[in-house]
A and B are shown apart, each in its own frame.
Chain A
Amino acid sequence: MQPNLLRRAQKLTHRPAFWGFLFISPWLIGFLIFTAGPMLTSLYLSFHKYDLSSITYVGGENYRRLLVEDPLFWKALKNTLFYASVSVPLGISASLAIALLLNQNVKGLKLFRTCFYLPSLVPSVAAALVWEWVFNSDNGILNTSLRMIGVTGPQWLQDERATPWAFAMMSLWGVGGARMVIFLAGLQGIPDSYYEAAKLDGASGWKCFRNVTLPMLSPVMFFNLVLGIIGSFQVFTSAYVMTGGGPNHASLFYALYLFQNAFEYLKLGKASAMAWILFSILLVLTYIQFRTSKRWVYYEGGDK
């Protein structure tokens, strides 16, 4: 028995997978306990009415009420979709633009890179407070500047027509962060020889960008797009700090409404159902992106 067991153990240690699992085990155990566990629990809770003190099975009632009876759910979803559709393209173009600028060979490049990266290091609550000041309709820097050129700015955070745009604008705050760094890394991975070849063929700056930079960056772009969309659906802190979802629920984003249901009204079943609906939406969106990516993402050395 003993030698048999030993042999089996030896056999196990000879398999590369064993070592792989062994080395990732700290993460794996953490994932199972702190991510997969709570996820399954929330799936279970989404079919229950749960307020921390009593729990009753209600079947799909939480889902039905959300989809059929809750106007705020749809409002929050609409707000979030708008935010995502504006902030993702805007953010990605801005990040790419900054990355392109910071990829130039100019004096003080390191200083510029640091400066552009700095805003993303500011804690999001602090940034939200700064933006609250920027958006102040009477004394804010934005409307004061607009006034100088003779334009009366809107009441950014008090007018429900302006508020969604204010939040979309605010999403630009983090464009110099991780996403820009990824673009920068992508840019530096493009061999100079491609540009040289293009130039020899007479390509202008724009043509180089269009036909060399963009295709070569497309995997990075794809990565940023997937993460950007997921991130934008989770927008929370700015609205939580600045408006609490107002005015008239104009900044009630999905994650904020979920948070309110879970931790302010203690409707944990409803909140769990919301989380799973969000998960399904993101799953579908990501799937679509992966399917369509074959048409526009170019992997060097691989099939198009």
Chain B
Amino acid sequence: MREIRKVVVLGANGTMGAGSAEVFAAGGCEVMLLARDAAKAQAGLESAQGMAKSATIGSLMKVGSYDADLEKSVAEADLIFEALAEDLAIKKEFFGRVTKVRQPDSIVATVSSGLSITDMAAVGDASFAKHFLGIHLFNPPNVIVGTEVIPHAGTDPKLVEPIVDMLEKRFGRVVTVCRDLPAFAGNRVGFKVLNEVAQLAEEHGVAFMDYVVGPYTGRAMPPLSTVDLVGLDVHKAIVDNVYENTKDEAHDKFALPAYVNKLIAAGHLGNKTAAKGGFYRRAKEDGKNVRYVLDPKSGEYTRETPVAPVPFIEETCKLHRVGRYREAMKIFVEAKGREADLARKVIFGYVSYALNRVGDGEVVREPRDVDRIMGFGFNWAPPTVLADVIGIKETIAQIEKCGLEVPAVLAKAPAGQPLFREANVNIGRFFSA
């Protein structure tokens, strides 16, 4: 593989563009940031400096515009990194320009999370296709190290390993190699859970679902707050894409609830539309931060009141708080009642769905792959961490009880050995109290 020294970032004014410029420069590359005009690219550069908390990182960066600088800089680049809007027509236009002038062995990568790598690869000539793949960084890329690498059928297989190796060693990424299937691994698994919670919120309420499937179940942030953070429109794009283009055992979990469609149509996209909100709306009253919560049935927001504590959840949190994770999850597994049933349905649904994405014809090859992207892309307890902490036999029993498919990874697990084998990872970090 060509040594990567010079990188061109297309769409450098966006969050992912600026963030990836930061990641590449931090690894010692010279980075050309391109946008519609140089002033926009300069804004991207400044944003990258903010992420690195360093002005000097700018010494590795140059800025330019598509009109004046694209052809010349692409011709000199070792890696062309595309972070344009998620619109195939726009991407096609730029890839058409890139394929004409790039070096025959330069790498072309897209940060896209929603479009088919195969479709994009087809835009350029044979050499372009051979050197084209997805490098899906998560937002913000300077903080979230989980990264997906997505070759398509025509990507030169000799490139994949050195690219993964480079991303890990030089750019500090934790990499999962995925097949080119809708939403790849992280978003396929993650948004299945998020959308299922959004569906359940229609009947059970937003704040209640965020409490019942909250951080104690192995995540840094409650699910619907997470959707507010990523944006309801982005959420819709991902789940619609999976719903339309896949058929699997959890197909119905990707159907976007009608009330979410209504919110989006009315411009309630989450944190980025702060005044309108999403599942929650933040406000300042008498100098105090308060939150309003959406009622999915009426579409109205009401002032947030504390959710009535559920004893098993409080008990689980108490044990997490002092580092007794196994005992905590035992309580979670053995608890009785509607809340416990709901929470287990989502959590064991997650474990089952995630590990079912492993294997021939599936999204990833090894359980480790899905573990890495859920742990370091989403900050969720990886599925095998949950299985280890709960116990593999018990996990299988719970999955069966929920009427779900038992993944082969669990059914064939050797007794007495942990499934999660990632070195130097404290599993306690995934369980917040």
Does B associate with A? Answer: no
B residues whose Cβ falls under 8 Å from a Cβ of A: none
A residues whose Cβ falls under 8 Å from a Cβ of B: none
